[in-house]
Amino acid sequence: MTVTKEKTLAEKVRADFPILHQEVNGKPLVYLDNAATSQKPLAVLNAIRDYYEEYNSNVHRGVHTLSAKATDAYEAARVKVAKFVNSALTEEIIYTRNASEAINLVAYAWGMTNLQRGDEIILTVMEHHSNLVPWQFVAQKTGAVLKFVELNQNEEFDLEQFKKLVSDKTKLVATVYVSNTLGCINPVKEICAIAHHYGAKVLIDACQAAPHMPLNVQEIDCDWLVASGHKMCGPTGIGFLYGKQNILRAMPPFLGGGEMIADVFLERSTYADIPHKFEAGTPAIAEAIALGAAVDYLTNIGMDKIHAYEAELTAYLCEKLQQIPDIRIYGPKPDQNGEGRAALAAFTAGEVHPHDLSTMLDQSGIAIRSGHHCTQPLHRYLNVPSTARASLYFYNTREEIDAFIAALKETIDFFGGMFG
């Protein structure tokens, strides 16, 4: 009797990603920089090509056939995104260039108009710069005060400190769902419940969550949630903002121009309803349609399956890294099933500089990230100038992790000989 071994998720999908089938520096490419950006399946690449080859036209502004087809595809993608995050209403999804723009939209359209001197904004020390700098702008302009949740002993969101920090002065809590450096998964549902008890609004940065786990904005009960398309198999240049309908309708427009208007007079204008009120000018049509294709692709696989497979890889990656002397992984440890942290590991290797590690690994065809990962304040908090980071996605394999670990050991040994 022949027993056929069931294919892993990666084995089932790798053929869909043309970029993975190449050599870099004479070695098979091992792409482990997925927290920076993901690779794109043929379904997404074809969606972009098909738009430009078959129905390239501006949306909403024409009655001719090409414009109608483009508009239908553009708005159908919005419906897909709304379903992907379980938004109650399609108009609660605003297209943006990326998550950074989505956060800035909220900062300017809500923060600048609702916050005043003495109001408090609670952030965390682990935030990406995109969820720090806009609120610094708001604080400088309005006189609001920034407060910061620190890390507990497991290098996770310190929920007990947060409970002491939040008060009637708190007007906004803005936090990452999954840290792109620590890999910790923050208790966003509980954070929202606590913040709402004090009447504060909550914004969730879901850039590292949306590609890897099911999202449910109604269950989380956040007021806003942002994500970037390029991290979830979509193209660059497109992201989205989810916002509760009543809050979005109360916010003034962020940018002025075509599409966001109802009527324009020489001295004044009236504005369109959401979502178009926040989508001034010709949008990224091809990119939005391709984002819809990416959502279809992920949904057809199943976000639960993606999360489960990545948990297996996470357990394997952390186990192998921990066997190497001098390796220090930042963030919480996963359990034996790989649950409890995201599928990434930011680490240091003794005296070896992360940039040198990354450069040497590239010679073996292995792509990882080195630097501060747009979390400079977190690195200062951890008292480390930079880290190396290997980040996984569902098309990665155990064999790729093995290749990474072998090359990492060789690199550490090489520099150990120099330092020794």
Catalytic residue set: 374
Contacts with 159 (C-beta within 8 Å, 6 or more apart), sequence order: 152, 187, 190, 191
DSSP string covering 269-322? EEEPPTTGGG--SS--HHHHHHHHHHHHHHHHH-HHHHHHHHHHHHHHHHHHHH
| Token pair in block for residue 48 | 């972009």
Q: Which residues contact 155 (CB under 8 A, 6 or more apart)?
A: 182, 184, 330, 331, 332, 382
Sequence-distant (6+) residues with CB within 8 A of 320 are 401, 402, 405
Q: How far apart are CA 406 and CA 389, in angstroms?
A: 16
What does the alpha-carbon distance between residue 38 and residue 232 come to, in Å, rounded to a whole number?
6
Q: What is the 3-state secondary structure (H, E, C) of 388-408?
A: EEEECCCCCCHHHHHHHHHHH
